[in-house]
Amino acid sequence: MAKNVSRALSLLAAVALGALAAWVLLRPASPRLPDTAVVVEQMREVARLETLDVSLYKKVTFTPEPQATDALWKDVLLWASYTLQNPHGRAIVFADAHLGFDFQRFDARHLHAVGTRVDVLLPPLQVTVALRPGETEIIDSNLDSAQTAQLLEKARLAFEREVRQDRRLQEKARQSAERSLRGLLLTLGFREVRFVETLPVGSAG
């Protein structure tokens, strides 16, 4: 009887050891996460492709007594009234706005990884506006070439201020960047990606 019990216990022990060995051999390996510098560089590369482009146009009218209804464009009209003798004319200005995050300033201090979870602090959003002179039309104007260039630069700055104040466009740019960066980080081995406003004090890499 004792011999049978001993055999049964030995068999159970062998089965248990076999199961343990199989679990150790077959369990999913922990992902090998890349070096922080590699992560930063790949995030920069992805972010360069994630610039939101928006086409803009604006009809600008300047008269001896301009009546600006849009405060953002008031300085454009006032500039014309004070710079020119009997200013008059109309311009339809076209431009392209580009919204993207300044990843040139992105480094390990913008990441905080704990195991397979990573927190990301996005760098500041950049807005640039480029006029499309080939499509911009000056109508019935008494501006010379230098004055026209000044007026167009003021229009470009007004476009830029408008875009900077457009929360909808900023949120669209942010969502696009987060979507691409989250996909990259998940493929690199992270299992949870969070975009945060601040990182823990003293965190780096």
Q: CA 197 → CA 11, 119, 120, 122, distances in Å?
A: 58, 10, 8, 8
What tens digit of pLDDT does each residue of 110-158 get?
Answer: 888 888 899 999 988 899 999 998 888 887 787 777 777 877 888 898 8
Is 200 within a domain?
no
pTM above 0.85, yes or no: no
Give 75-105 pLDDT, tens digit per residue. Answer: 776 666 666 566 566 788 899 999 988 888 8
The position carrying tokens 């466009």 is 169
- 123 and 96 part of one domain: yes
Say whether both 71 and 147 belong to one domain: yes
* Nearest partner of 181 among 52, 48, 54, judged by Cα: 48
Note whether residue 141 is domain-resident.
yes
The reply to whether 116 falls in a domain is yes
Q: With respect to residue 201, please indicate whether it lies within any of the assigned structural domains.
A: no
- The range of the structural domain enclosing residue 13 comes to 1-30
